[in-house]
Structure 1
Amino acid sequence: MKEMTQLKPLIEVDQFSFDYEQLNEPLVSEVSFNINKDETVLLMGSSGSGKSTISLCLNGLYPEAVEGVASGDIFFKGNNIKDFEKGELNQNVGIVFQDPESQFCMITVENELAFTLENIQTPREEIAPKIDQVLETIGMIDYKYHNIHELSGGQKQKVALASVLLLDPELIILDEPTANLDPVSSLVFVNLIKDLKLETQKSIFIIEHKADDWLTFTDRVLVLNKQGQLVADDSPKSLFTTNKTLIENEGLFIPKVYQKQMLQPQNEVKNETSEASMVINDLSFSRKKTLILNSINMTLNKGEMIAIVGENGAGKSTLLQLMAGILKPKKGNITFLGHSLQKWKEQKLRQHMGFVFQNPEHQFITDTTYDEVSFGMTLNGYSEDVIKERTEQLLQNFQLSAHKWSNPFALSGGQKRRLSVATMLDETPDLLLFDEPTFGQDAQTTDELMTIVKDLQAKGTTIVFVTHDMDLVDLYCDQVYVINDQQVAFEGHPHQLWKQDALLERARLRLPDRLRHGQEVGETYDLVY
């Protein structure tokens, strides 16, 4: 194409719409906005409102990579992106996805970064210096030769960012980049982006459900409504003070600094004893001679809501899979409802226990949302009338009725998470295990999910979830276990955990928002535990 000239805005979106062929109405509808050079813009919207779709269209991956139809125009530096050669726009508009592993092609950090440079035909003699330079920038020079898949979540996200930085794009898109990170790794990543912005003056486009940590360097906030329409484009202060009703009506999180009244915990300390649902005794687990968990002891009582927390790579998800019987321990034993977990027959176990994976796609096995929800009921021999009634009710409860004939893999990240939970509720389980239950959820769907979970808890279901969301732990949990250095470092009520400053720092946890003080908008967020 002809040589580009510098024009403002850097990105111009003009009456842009996008829909998938199987949908009856646009996912994104007649959206118009600009992104200027050296500007940071944050995009908010409810789960399924089209946020990630917009980011992929800005990058040129959509609609070509999916069965989608686009109308309207997107311009980069005054040139319609339709006129760019394949791959040309991707070098100018880089994107870091929610799940960094979806971007990796190579085994080691060095090879992954070299692969990026080779793709843009970097002279061989320049590759090694550029790799060292970008690793110094993100603070990971010591991990140059490490296996990517052995890195923590925060480190993987930094490597994904490094790959994008090597392209030297003028716009960097971050699609919920901290969703899978522990609280401190999340803050470290935000501060890294802030420093990069100051040093490079690149434009940044951020998609997030929770804006709090990004506000110190965000120039504008865009809001999509549930119909995929742009309903706000304003400065953070103006939006969250004068347009708070709009944010609440769309079911979005209002940053804590703009909330007059903080939510208070609903989980009083309980003194009474209860019957155990699951008992874990001296459990250890290794993977390829590496000790992951060592001498874990836990008692999960019936009707309790329990959180398992810790830094990325601490072994939390591994522990949850051991509790579900998916993995077998190296030593120790697990008792569930009075019987050894290893002696349970698989079909019987699944009638009493539900497990929701960290990545929802890992549990999808059918072609439609409706069939996914009804699958377990069919296996358990329910009548067609009961299956239809229960399935329709679950779809309604989880706001999935409009997508019941959609392919589960075509849903948004938040919709996939709600579907993965709904598939576990064909019966009321005795134990329900969640790996990051609120991942990708807006404020409204988080509240609705927790209402359903609390209803199950009231019926006697034991709820256990792995999470990085300290507000969730603070508001709802009866017990919290901290995993650190392969062991249980803390067991008790969340109120007691918040007093353990040294442990919070060691386990890379932060206080819940209601207990953090002195963080006004415009102030630099240091590592506040």
Structure 2
Amino acid sequence: MKVLEGRQQPILEVRDFSFSYGEIDEQPLFDGLRFTLNRNDVTLLMGASGAGKSSLALCLNGLYPEAIEGTASGDILFYGKNISEFERGELTQEIGIVFQDPESQFCMMTVEDELAFTLENRKIPAPAIRGRIKAVLKAVGMEGFENNKIHELSGGQKQKVALAAVLLLEPEMLILDEPTANLDPVSSLEFIKLVGKIQKERQLSVLIIEHQADDWLDLISRVLVIGRDGQLLADDRPERLFTEKKQILEQEGIFLPDAYSDSPAFREKWARIVPSEKNVLSVRGLSFSRRKQEVLKNVSMNVCGGELVVIVGENGAGKSTLLQLMAGLLDPCAGTISLFDRPLGTWQEKDLRKRMGFVFQNPEHQFITDTVYEELTFGMKLNGYADEGMESAADHLMEQFHLKAYRNNNPFALSGGQKRRLSVATVLEETPDILLFDEPTFGQDAATTLELMDYVMALKAKGIAIVFVTHDMDIVDAADRVVVLKQGKVAFSDRPASLWKEGELLQAARLRLPARLRKSVEEGELYDLIH
């Protein structure tokens, strides 16, 4: 259904809308929401991790509560028509969603097959399909990728294909749920610019769900904020919201854009803790291939006790693969990895896991039980904890990571940010010698990011070696050492301060300066870099 009349009326009206998972008498995730989204507006939706932002998006296009066990009350109107009156699947064409993880939207092997599948479901005549695919790929900057396999694309390319598939639905409104969370810094900027271009060309209404607003500020005209209590906390223009309601946002744990924030940079917040000279993990001449394609080539590095090492690079550079090799989850094609000068292959699995903790990029990959409590105590049982000790340790971790209210919840039913916190908590029932984190802060609000980093830095102060894979350049700024991967090779290994002087390398590896230095760039104090 394409609405041709009443273009001046709101595209979406939310009236006293409440939603809860389970029965109606359970505590609502959000309660009595009232707001209006106007045609052609670009609106930012913010809120603390777990506030229900993604769930609200799925309610707005009619997928919830029908697709899950949930209860809703109140009304949502699309161009004045209650969404409950739409035929099944009709509204999802009018209001398209691009999710944080693009792979969750794909069901075919190649780019062309994926996009053709969308058009076939719309009953587009076969002769017209190829032309429409070429046009939409041109629109998202992916011309010539029709025959590429989706799983071989970079993160940014996958997100563009996901956007293309939604655009083929010809929606009136586009919802983007943390679409840049898994992208390298430059791919993130490119995607945001692409969204701005398409929004103007197609006159789309856009709702963006995002924790960090900085790079979206030039596009958005309005910000909605959902509080921890499920109420609409704010609805205002960004320039007024981030100044007049600054204190409220900080209390909610919401990231303020750097232009409006007085918080110290990460590197200033944590006192420098000098790493020990004790070598914990050694990587020597490491190479790895997947399906005859070389992913890593002759990689060598050390990690010492009390050292925070970050691994950065563009999507597809081999960062996650390197971390999995360091954890002993993959076997190298060549080279060695040693923990305390002892090859990983000679360690008993149980002993290795006591000395080393690993947090996957995708939290679901490490969940194996039915409740948060069981997930936290699974390893404790294997390690022979007494019942009383398990209860006490699990309670402490749930308190530390704001999961106490979800003790009996299924881990897979948690929000993205809550899943991440649980995945981190599960490796901390003991204090290992080295912790490996793959994107530990994505999906987290400002408060939980700072708490997690405070916790990590406290572990570092005890002499624990920490390795991060991250796209967050402010965290990179606070590290002892940064390793840049480019095309599977180590292109740089030194202090962050030295990296910030390597303008050509930053551009080639699709990285950016941290926020504190980007401000200086804008003031003309440093070289112009990526913008």
Q: Please report the TM-score for the alignment, with normalisation by the length of structure 1.
A: 0.96
1:6 and 2:6 are equivalent in the alignment: yes
User: Match of 1:293?
Assistant: 296
Distance (Å, rounded) in 2 between the aligned partners of 1:241 and 1:445: 22
Task: Read off the aligned partner of 2:11 and give its amino acid letter.
Answer: L
Structure 2 CA distance for partners of 1:144 and 1:438, relative to 1, 3 Å: same
Q: CA deviation at 1:528?
A: 2.2
User: Match of 2:189?
Assistant: 187
Distance (Å, rounded) in 1 between the aligned partners of 2:369 and 2:262: 45
Q: CA deviation at 1:5?
A: 4.7
Task: Read off the aligned partner of 1:189 and give its amino acid letter.
Answer: F
**Structure 1 residue ranges without an equivalent (≥5):** 521-525
User: Match of 1:410?
Assistant: 413
Q: CA deviation at 1:355?
A: 0.5
Contact 1:354 1:433 in 2 (8 A): yes
Task: Read off the aligned partner of 1:13 and give its amino acid letter.
Answer: V
User: Match of 1:136?
Assistant: 138
Q: CA deviation at 1:211?
A: 0.4
Aligned 1:133-172 pairs, distance under 5 A: 133-172=135-174
1:357 and 2:360 are equivalent in the alignment: yes
Distance (Å, rounded) in 2 between the aligned partners of 1:527 and 1:273: 34
SS at match of 2:427: coil
Distance (Å, rounded) in 2 between the aligned partners of 1:49 and 1:283: 42
Task: Read off the aligned partner of 2:346 and give its amino acid letter.
Answer: K
SS at match of 2:393: helix
1:469 and 2:472 are equivalent in the alignment: yes
SS at match of 1:14: strand
Distance (Å, rounded) in 2 between the aligned partners of 1:451 and 1:272: 17
1:378 and 2:381 are equivalent in the alignment: yes
User: Match of 2:525?
Assistant: none
Cα deviation digits, residues 26-78 of structure 1 (max 9, x gap): 01111111111000010000000000011000111111111100011100000
Aligned 1:66-81 pairs, distance under 5 A: 66-81=68-83
Aligned 1:393-472 pairs, distance under 5 A: 393-472=396-475
1:86 and 2:88 are equivalent in the alignment: yes
Q: 2:41 aligns with which of 39, 42, 46?
A: 39
Task: Read off the aligned partner of 2:178 and give its amino acid letter.
Answer: E
Distance (Å, rounded) in 2 between the aligned partners of 1:496 and 1:371: 45
Distance (Å, rounded) in 2 between the aligned partners of 1:423 and 1:406: 15
Structure 2 CA distance for partners of 1:170 and 1:234, relative to 1, 3 Å: same
Q: 1:228 aligns with which of 227, 230, 238?
A: 230
Aligned 1:302-341 pairs, distance under 5 A: 302-341=305-344
Distance (Å, rounded) in 2 between the aligned partners of 1:60 and 1:259: 36
Q: CA deviation at 1:519?
A: 8.0
Task: Read off the aligned partner of 2:225 and give its amino acid letter.
Answer: V
Contact 1:96 1:161 in 2 (8 A): yes
SS at match of 1:314: coil
Task: Read off the aligned partner of 1:6 and give its amino acid letter.
Answer: G
User: Match of 1:245?
Assistant: 247
Q: CA deviation at 1:212?
A: 0.5
1:20 and 2:21 are equivalent in the alignment: yes
Task: Read off the aligned partner of 1:386 and give its amino acid letter.
Answer: G
Distance (Å, rounded) in 1 between the aligned partners of 2:148 and 2:275: 49
Distance (Å, rounded) in 1 between the aligned partners of 2:136 and 2:451: 42
Identical aligned residues as a percent: 57
Task: Read off the aligned partner of 2:254 and give its amino acid letter.
Answer: L
SS at match of 1:156: helix
Contact 2:43 2:206 in 1 (8 A): yes
**Structure 2 residue ranges without an equivalent (≥5):** 523-527
Distance (Å, rounded) in 1 between the aligned partners of 2:346 and 2:26: 49
Structure 2 CA distance for partners of 1:264 and 1:315, relative to 1, 3 Å: closer
Cα deviation digits, residues 240-296 of structure 1 (max 9, x gap): 011101110100110011124642514677877611000000000001110000000
User: Match of 2:208?
Assistant: 206
Distance (Å, rounded) in 1 between the aligned partners of 2:4 and 2:195: 27
SS at match of 1:465: strand
SS at match of 1:216: coil
Distance (Å, rounded) in 2 between the aligned partners of 1:365 and 1:50: 24
Task: Read off the aligned partner of 2:193 and give its amino acid letter.
Answer: N
Contact 2:95 2:172 in 1 (8 A): yes
Contact 2:506 2:512 in 1 (8 A): yes
Distance (Å, rounded) in 1 between the aligned partners of 2:521 and 2:330: 42
Contact 2:3 2:79 in 1 (8 A): no
Structure 2 CA distance for partners of 1:202 and 1:3, relative to 1, 3 Å: closer
Q: CA deviation at 1:461?
A: 1.1
Q: CA deviation at 1:432?
A: 0.5
Task: Read off the aligned partner of 2:118 and give its amino acid letter.
Answer: T
1:486 and 2:488 are equivalent in the alignment: yes
User: Match of 1:511?
Assistant: 513
Q: CA deviation at 1:143?
A: 1.2
Distance (Å, rounded) in 2 between the aligned partners of 1:322 and 1:172: 39
Task: Read off the aligned partner of 1:136 and give its amino acid letter.
Answer: K
Q: CA deviation at 1:527?
A: 7.4
Task: Read off the aligned partner of 1:441 and give its amino acid letter.
Answer: Q
Task: Read off the aligned partner of 2:441 and give its amino acid letter.
Answer: T
Q: CA deviation at 1:80?
A: 0.2
Q: What is the aligned length?
A: 524
Q: CA deviation at 1:486?
A: 1.2
Contact 2:10 2:38 in 1 (8 A): yes
Task: Read off the aligned partner of 1:75 and give its amino acid letter.
Answer: L
SS at match of 1:265: helix
SS at match of 1:221: strand
Distance (Å, rounded) in 1 between the aligned partners of 2:393 and 2:203: 53
SS at match of 1:142: coil
Q: Please report the TM-score for the alignment, with normalisation by the length of structure 2.
A: 0.96
